[in-house]
Structure 1
């Protein structure tokens, strides 16, 4: 794929035979100019005389060469920065370091040459096709029908997909913008789930008949205080077995997960997710289960688990990941900021079984967090006691967020706070997979999808029903969030609260459904910004990149938009994606 946005390319340092490298004048050459100087016209080129350098002079020259400091290559300097040996990764930046202005390639999204859109690309995006798979009985005797969601793409192989649509009001972006499909609400994402995960039509019920499979929601939180809850509809039974053994229809884990968390593993498997386990109510992070609920407590069928998260402002978050955080000044996180996030979305429309998606490079795991997750972490060669994660860690991926936490509720009862100081996720703490071409050197960009996602894992028949609000079965005590009229489980406990329903010294608790609405607004704004940016890049005018004449346009309409031959130098067609089920 060729990009319309030209980016300066670094010429590679010549390597090979020494004869290809320009050499200094040798000792055999005289220092007299070969051509007389205009300031000294009488000077003539002296005959070249071979001069034999004394032995001690030759030895001195060798010693001087040995003492010269060899400059590190660009890749070696990059590696030193990643290992904490560069000023760029220090918690306190060097004031003497000059500010480097970002290049045009770092400020604008990548743009590609594409064939003209088909007429069907202007139609509203369609969701998956639902095929009935099985039915189960819920804890209250209700029938829940699960479907196999097919004919859609999965987020895997280092790529992330969102629906898009052709729009004639976005000609500078080749007519494509982001869009949504039914049910037009916060739900568990059909595309952002492992295979063999089954849903209801609204994406609120989730189950599987395989081993642990994870599903992330279609909404992420990046700052503030948020809440969602889920009900265990198939799990550990309340009645013990014949010999006191615990009987279960399956198992579940619920929690929060970042983009890097594996979908083929339970929540809490790695450094990128935090999960609560139904067995004994244990908390799990980095595959290390630890007791959390009081002894004898478990999560069983019919229980409602509430999950609250608090994250600092993005302004403070960016200070942390860029190494400008000062706890003596910034801990209160009350500094007002009008700074907007710099969202750069490198994406391209692709086809998959008559669907149109934006394909974006996803975020990948980092070596530092993989080493931390390892059961037997290897200590650094330079230190016998590696520095634990903290807001000022030399490595951005190991920096944590002060004033952040995850709190758990069970049937409306506050069970405590299993985690504080969550890992930072804004780039460069998160990095995209390294690619070539237009994406080269752009692995630490924020495309707007990083954050903490509501996540559930189900195991061999385990099933949950998620609720992102705004009405909840068991809103947290004192939150002021509305409660469902009929929760089917119990009534909310009476709590003391202020006149406005809030708790002192806390941000208002918001439902995750409200974050979904914010995401829609952000996508619209970012699409407009990208369109205006490309329009300005084209000189403030709309360029007909297809070179269509009236006859060409008529032919394009007659062929249903498939006239790829009308675009000189462009692609024959938008890429057709093939994925194994």
Structure 2
């Protein structure tokens, strides 16, 4: 996966499916972000010896994922991801494809709305582990199905160029959900976390852009003290 532009908002991939997750996730509230579908034309051909062999067609699976989702696989490969696929417009979860909406291609803008109602204290599960660094061996240990309590009333809705494709998933597991993209051979996306969107979702429900999440402030720099001069007490 390659991140480009100054804000790291454009993601590209020249190999098989890989996933990239955002740095911030949400556990409650209504949140939205969008992604513009792009083809990385700069790397459409891979030199092999003295010839250039055309690479496979690019593809996309985009959506939301929990921290336990496998980074070396597409979104929706396991039970921790929920995605909208370009081919046939199907939705994907636990590696299974289900009829859903319209297919999409380069030039389209896909929107992602997640609805996570506030839960009463008696229904809240233990907080999830912090998001690990994006390395293959840093994914948290997966939980069993019985360890994934449902978030009642939760929904995921995808949009294509501002048009709702209807509810894709509902009553999803509790946890912290991160925007996630998975790309296949020359696929690229330009993500937009707001506050200005190309196609704001047409819904009566209030929502917030992902950009409204508070950023983690860096720790203040600690002034380095000058080494103390040698005295009788600290001489070697």
TM-score range with shorter-chain normalisation? Answer: 0.7 to 0.9
Paired position in structure 2 for 1:398: 148
Residues 215 and 455 in structure 1, CA contact (< 8 A), matched pair in contact too: yes
Residues 198 and 208 in structure 1, CA contact (< 8 A), matched pair in contact too: no
Q: Is 1:302 aligned with 2:107?
A: yes
1:283 pairs, out of 91, 107, 126, with: 91
1-structure distance, mates of 2:193, 2:83: 17
Residues 400 and 424 in structure 1, CA contact (< 8 A), matched pair in contact too: yes
Q: CA RMSD in A?
A: 2.9
TM-score relative to the length of structure 1: 0.33
User: How far off is 1:250 after superposition?
Assistant: 0.7
1-structure distance, mates of 2:142, 2:72: 14
2-structure distance, mates of 1:289, 1:456: 17
Q: Which has the higher contact order (CA 8 A, sep 6+)?
A: 2
Paired position in structure 2 for 1:509: 207
Paired position in structure 2 for 1:422: 172
Query: Could you list the per-position Cα deviations for residues 387-427 of structure 1 after superposition, in whole angstroms to 9, with x for gaps in the alignment?
Result: xxxxxxxx4x23201110001111011110010001112xx
1:214 pairs, out of 5, 16, 19, with: 19
Specify the SS of the correspondent of 1:406. strand
Query: Could you list the per-position Cα deviations for residues 51-108 of structure 1 after superposition, in whole angstroms to 9, with x for gaps in the alignment?
Result: xxxxxxxxxxxxxxxxxxxxxxxxxxxxxxxxxxxxxxxxxxxxxxxxxxxxxxxxxx
1:412-491 mapped onto 2 (5 Å cutoff): 412-425=162-175, 451-478=176-203
Residues 129 and 140 in structure 2, CA contact (< 8 A), matched pair in contact too: no
Q: Is 1:319 aligned with 2:122?
A: yes
Residues 197 and 213 in structure 1, CA contact (< 8 A), matched pair in contact too: no
2-structure distance, mates of 1:511, 1:273: 20
2-structure distance, mates of 1:455, 1:422: 16
Paired position in structure 2 for 1:67: none
- Higher percent of residues as helix: 1
Query: Could you list the per-position Cα deviations for residues 448-472 of structure 1 after superposition, in whole angstroms to 9, with x for gaps in the alignment?
Result: xxx1000000111011110110000
Residues 250 and 458 in structure 1, CA contact (< 8 A), matched pair in contact too: yes
- For structure 2, list consecutive stretches of 5 or more residues without a partner in the other structure: 41-54, 131-137, 220-224
Distance of aligned partners of 1:556 and 1:202 in 2 relative to their CA distance in 1, 3 Å threshold? farther
- Higher percent of residues as strand: 2
2-structure distance, mates of 1:458, 1:275: 12
- For structure 1, list consecutive stretches of 5 or more residues without a partner in the other structure: 1-195, 236-246, 323-340, 346-360, 370-394, 426-450, 479-502, 528-552, 558-565, 567-581
2-structure distance, mates of 1:511, 1:453: 13
Residues 198 and 206 in structure 1, CA contact (< 8 A), matched pair in contact too: yes
Residues 234 and 249 in structure 1, CA contact (< 8 A), matched pair in contact too: no
TM-score relative to the length of structure 2: 0.77
